[in-house]
Structure 1
């Protein structure tokens, strides 16, 4: 069994994989203050929920965009599972070439998403990941990542709006019943939702305008489910894309 760990800016998401089958996924709030013992105990608890123990784990692969957390989490894997984990990054074979100005700057999560998208759905393909940041990465028919875009995520936009104003409250991120809002909270929800949805569609349209080949669009990430049914620009919704990509990267390197 393989444990795949996605260390993001907001959450650490842990996937338990039996071959290509995902047994379960679990979320931990990302915090540099957690110790290796805390992370280790959490992993053992997640395994126990599936009737598993440390000895059932064959290997661990980690994709991280938060360097401050990597030391503690990697130490927890070594200490509690007796495994030196594989880390997605420079030197790890992915099967894709990165044709960017600075290939090393591509996030490990974006690379795993792109690998999963190309291997599962073919190319060319545009990979949209809706997390703390919203990222778009394009993989052409020749298995090359050739372009990327980064913008604030919806949760980030909510936090900015609340922290930058005196009276606006925290609101749940959800699809509003109507754009004709009649209260502060519903006005915020409608404004955030429709402006973000419009931004998604405009971004995909611009990729199509500047790329001289047809492509599919796959959406993933924690907030993709909010928009997936409200636009015809998204062809595929895969909430577990990063874990599938990490499993493929693991098989290419193990």
Structure 2
């Protein structure tokens, strides 16, 4: 069975093409709230033809509600079944938070996917448009987390809200102390997010009074490389693997 998994985020839609259990292709396309099904079909047609892939089913998880209907139209045109993960449906793990219906689908999928691979307690950090921390407790229950602006948002905010600061690509500068404006910004973004992440992990461990297994994912998960000493596992495709895994167990959760 060939499955297309679509992680519909605020900045990008990450697509995973699975043949049986294997991720054979991964693509990233822009996520725009007003893009139509016809536009997505045009992009998908090129990707499918170029890579010789024809999905037999699709599963999506979205944090951009206006796009759900467009992807339903995509599936209808492709004449393939579509499975949509929504908050609280399917019921993947207990959500021990004040407002379970507000927990993002991506955060639930990441937590579920991490639980399939590692023993809790787990802390999943997703470096995406937003940087999110999600805690899975010892009993496999979702316990809450942290949300803060992502690296790219930080870079864009400096550029848009100041008169003279340029927009920069995010990568490690040659030193912590920058000797030009671009390296100063890169240092703040790169080392600032590294140390902020490490500091929040330590605060979480202190509050829990126990250690946790830290899994890092998201579009910028590989940016820090060996400097991310706090990460036990770096898994850029965790969300896609979670979507695919849920698809494989769909009847178990929805039956």
Instruction: State TM-score, norm by structure 2.
Output: 0.94
Contact 1:3 1:15 (8 Å CA) reproduced: yes
Aligned to 2:246: 249
Aligned with 2:226: secondary structure?
coil
Q: CA deviation at 1:212?
A: 3.3
Aligned to 1:35: 36
Aligned with 2:15: secondary structure?
strand
Aligned to 1:4: 5
1:127-178 CA-partner distances (Å, limit 9, x unpaired): 0000000000011121100121100000000111111100111101001111
Contact 2:151 2:189 (8 Å CA) reproduced: yes
Contact 1:92 1:253 (8 Å CA) reproduced: no
Aligned to 1:214: 211
Q: CA deviation at 1:6?
A: 0.6
Contact 1:124 1:138 (8 Å CA) reproduced: yes
Contact 1:8 1:65 (8 Å CA) reproduced: yes
Q: 40-49 or 159-168, which moves further after superposition?
A: 40-49
Contact 1:162 1:168 (8 Å CA) reproduced: yes
Aligned to 2:74: 76
1:171-194 CA-partner distances (Å, limit 9, x unpaired): 010011111211111111111111
Instruction: State TM-score, norm by structure 1.
Output: 0.94
Distance 1:149 1:67 in 2: 22
Q: Does 1:134 align with 2:131?
A: yes
Aligned with 2:148: secondary structure?
strand
Q: Does 1:167 align with 2:168?
A: no
Structure 1: gaps of 5 or more residues: none
RMSD, aligned α-carbons: 1.4
How many pairs are equivalent? 250
Contact 1:162 1:170 (8 Å CA) reproduced: yes
Distance 2:194 2:231 in 1: 11
Structure-2 change in CA distance of 1:14 and 1:137 (3 Å): same
Q: 172-181 or 127-136, which moves further after superposition?
A: 172-181
Q: CA deviation at 1:77?
A: 1.7
1:202-239 CA-partner distances (Å, limit 9, x unpaired): 01111100113332000000111112410321100001
Aligned with 2:108: secondary structure?
helix
Aligned to 2:20: 19
Distance 1:228 1:126 in 2: 18
Structure 2: gaps of 5 or more residues: none
Q: Does 1:200 align with 2:200?
A: no
Contact 2:87 2:103 (8 Å CA) reproduced: no
Distance 1:217 1:52 in 2: 34
Q: Does 1:144 align with 2:146?
A: no
Q: CA deviation at 1:94?
A: 5.0
